[in-house]
Structure 1
Amino acid sequence: MCEMISPLKFVVFLLVIHNSVENNDFSAGSLDFTVRFFKNFYNQSSNSIVSPISVRLALATIYQAAGSKLAPEIQQAIDLQQQSKEETAKNARNFIERINNDHLHVLFKAFKINDQLEPNFEKAIRAALSTDVETVDFQDTTLLSETINEWVSNATNNIIRDFVEEQSLEPNTEFMLINAVALKAEWASKFPADATRQVAFHYVNGDREVDMMRQVMTVPYRVTEDFHAAELAYSQESDLSMWIILPRGRGSLRDLVRMLSPEMIAGIRQGSKTILLTVELPRFSIRNEFDVRNVLEKMGHSNLFELADLEVFRGRRSEINDIFQSAVIVVDEDGTEASAASRVNVKWRSGPRPFFAHKPFIFFIQQRSTNTILFIGQYSNHED
């Protein structure tokens, strides 16, 4: 008799929005995964914002149900450091508790058919993610879409109210995991609104005028022959900052992405010196909706979706069907709203060193106390 294989619907949702650790075991391997994920997601024809740590947390949860064939594949894919399932669940939970604060929230929600979950997997979900598993009828796509959208709306303070459309839900789904990451933080030093002016941004697809924010500030700064980078802190209580990495000279964003590595990021952090800069940064907003499965397959992890080796439900095997992430970031004078997109030529003779983000750049948002990258992306294209 053939064993029944049920598709596992796996959805990851991310929201990054702004309104006008010590290292723990789960952090180990995070930087490597973040860099690999971003480089495989990168597309020079569009802007991007992704949260590899969000994907990593979700897959660490699915790892709890993995059999002997799939478990090592997940370990390899997300760089788990040979942890047992119990250790992984505990470390993931400790990590979530450590990063959650008034400015950053990581929330999970699980839905299942009316069937009994494998007890250890259900226990792990409750322990690692601090959430119950809600029983739903995946055949009733109307009610299910309303249920999901209500949860996402509540999790993101009503910023996104229509996360899923009814027709996008598959009736043969048996389990769904949704992850919401919401960030709301103000700059430690806000950009003065009256200093914002129209400046040319040299997009990959042509120059456009943008609203360019400007201020003089003392920040950590790292300069090399190929790039320079500056760290812009959010409010102290948020424990967050954004690094902006700009190519230098004739270097391009593509060159910068090519050379991006964990060692490069570590060098930026460790080799930075605090100096006085005149920082110019565009207001910008990015929204991505993408299939995480495609990225993981490009990274060489297609086995994650080919092995029916998940015991989500007692007595039968399931497989991961797809992984979805939606991400939004909005940056303005107050913190992390708008996008715009000519030219003001200024020659600096003395005073603070200029750090002008007038051309495509990479950015990442990190938790400062643990050096954990929460979001990473690039701003390179106008969308009009």
Structure 2
Amino acid sequence: MLSLTGVSTLLLIVAAIKAEDNEFNTGNLDFALKFFKNSHNQSSNSVVSPISVRLALAAIYQAAEPPLSQAIQEATGLSELRKQQTAEDITSFLQTTNNEQFHVHFKAYKKAEELDPKFETAIRTLSDSGIETVDFSDTENLSKSVNQWVSNATDQMIREMVQERTIDPATEFMLINTVALKAQWANRFPSDKIRRMPFHFINGDREVDMMQQVMTVPYRVTEHFHAAELLYSADSDLSMWLLLPRSRGQLPELIRMLSPEMIENIRLGSKTVSLNVEMPRFTIRNELDVRRVLQNMGHGRLFEQSDLQVFATRRSQFDDFFQSAIIAVDEAGTRAVAASRINVKWRIGPRPFLAHRPFLFFVQKRSTNTILFIGQYSNHED
């Protein structure tokens, strides 16, 4: 039985090439929004990395035969007829995306059996860490090895991806990818302006560390929300959008409104204005059963077919699919990681953009409109 293992930490959107030049970019935005809408929990803060999940599915897609291949194609929007092109597009995506601010890594573990040659070639092309032969019944040493690799790949933000008790000795193959972001604000929030202020969480008001500064940024206001794009350093090609409902208690409605067309309208309709931005420092940690989310999206067939040509002489099937994600936002910038195992009349002067109540956020690579992380900040957790 095939087991996919994953960890993820961080919320953001990243892409490295023009969407029209790379088929893998097609569908990234639609998948990201659907995945978030089916994964968020109104009673807690959340952060997920849709790009990490889609990359894992795209990698394993290389081993899929009908009808599983059609199920993966429906879930991801990848081409059923052009697997080789998909593999090349993923490779190009990784080559043009990985840099000092953002990077993706793959690692594969297999039992002592020959892999299908085509699948092995695809995995070796994607994986900078290679394919390691292991004994899945030796859960103690395997868990140490996996956790050490994930910790190194996520700059120690994710230290435990698996536990001994969570490894099924019957596992035959494990694919892990990690995405990690470390980006500095183009304009750092002054440390001496951080104040303890009330934040109106869904589950009650609490004081938080609130950052503040006046900045000139892309801004969009509609009947239901207003949005601001906070830029990271110019060489990163990254930014974080904050979407803030215009009246308290409307976050669920704003989430329901999310669509690719809405995001594009925000981007295309924004105007550069001076804003007095106030937003909290925050850290969100999230563990996610990706299998459950994909089933909620209507893709339960992914886990019902035994049509993965991972090994040379027989077929396998999906088992588990998990993600761990973390995002930390402070006055200096944003750190985020993820690992996946298979929100009056304006006065003259700066307009107020006061994120004192629940809001959405996503991090993107601006040139390709790819969402890497997306989440909500809405509940206190003390």
TM-score interval (norm. to shorter)? over 0.9
Partner of 2:360: 362
Say whether residues 1:216 and 2:214 are aligned partners.
yes
How big is the shift at 1:109?
Answer: 0.2
Is contact 2:9-2:327 (8 Å) kept?
yes
Moved more, 80-89 or 176-185: 80-89
How big is the shift at 1:350?
Answer: 3.6
Partner of 1:106: 104
* Identity value in percent: 61
Aligned positions, number: 368
Is contact 2:248-2:357 (8 Å) kept?
no
Partner of 1:22: 18
Is contact 2:11-2:375 (8 Å) kept?
no
Is contact 1:47-1:377 (8 Å) kept?
yes
The alpha-carbon distance between structure 1 residues 250 and 103, as it changes in their structure 2 partners (threshold 3 A), is closer
Q: Name the CA distance, whole Å, in 1 between partners of 2:348 and 2:251.
A: 28
Is contact 1:14-1:327 (8 Å) kept?
yes
Is contact 1:289-1:327 (8 Å) kept?
yes
Q: Name the CA distance, whole Å, in 2 between partners of 1:165 and 1:110.
A: 17
How big is the shift at 1:15?
Answer: 2.5
Say whether residues 1:55 and 2:53 are aligned partners.
yes
For residue 85 of structure 2, give the secondary structure of its aligned residue in structure 1: helix
Q: Name the CA distance, whole Å, in 1 between partners of 2:28 and 2:131.
A: 27
Q: Name the CA distance, whole Å, in 2 between partners of 1:33 and 1:349.
A: 39
Cα displacement string for residues 302-334 of structure 1 (whole angstroms, at most 9, x for unaligned residues): 000001111111121111001100000000000
Is contact 1:16-1:184 (8 Å) kept?
no
Cα displacement string for residues 190-212 of structure 1 (whole angstroms, at most 9, x for unaligned residues): 00011111111110110101111
Cα displacement string for residues 310-364 of structure 1 (whole angstroms, at most 9, x for unaligned residues): 1111121111001100000000000018xxxxxxxxx985420000111111100
- 5+ residue gaps, structure 1, are 1-6, 338-346
Is contact 1:29-1:81 (8 Å) kept?
no
Which amino acid in the other structure matches residue 100 of structure 1? N
**TM score, norm. by length of structure 2:** 0.93
1:257-296 maps to which residues of 2 (within 5 A)?
257-296=255-294
For residue 87 of structure 1, give the secondary structure of its aligned residue in structure 2: helix
Partner of 1:186: 184
Is contact 1:292-1:323 (8 Å) kept?
yes
Q: Name the CA distance, whole Å, in 2 between partners of 1:324 and 1:83.
A: 28
Which amino acid in the other structure matches residue 15 of structure 1? T
Which of 164, 167, 177 is residue 166 of structure 1 equivalent to? 164
Say whether residues 1:319 and 2:313 are aligned partners.
no
Partner of 2:340: none
For residue 196 of structure 2, give the secondary structure of its aligned residue in structure 1: strand
How big is the shift at 1:87?
Answer: 0.8
For residue 317 of structure 1, give the secondary structure of its aligned residue in structure 2: coil
For residue 254 of structure 1, give the secondary structure of its aligned residue in structure 2: helix
Which amino acid in the other structure matches residue 84 of structure 1? R
How big is the shift at 1:249?
Answer: 2.8
Say whether residues 1:31 and 2:53 are aligned partners.
no
Q: Name the CA distance, whole Å, in 2 between partners of 1:257 and 1:187.
A: 26
The two structures, once aligned, show a CA RMSD in angstroms of: 1.7
1:196-345 maps to which residues of 2 (within 5 A)?
196-249=194-247, 252-336=250-334
Is contact 1:17-1:336 (8 Å) kept?
no
Q: Name the CA distance, whole Å, in 2 between partners of 1:250 and 1:236.
A: 34
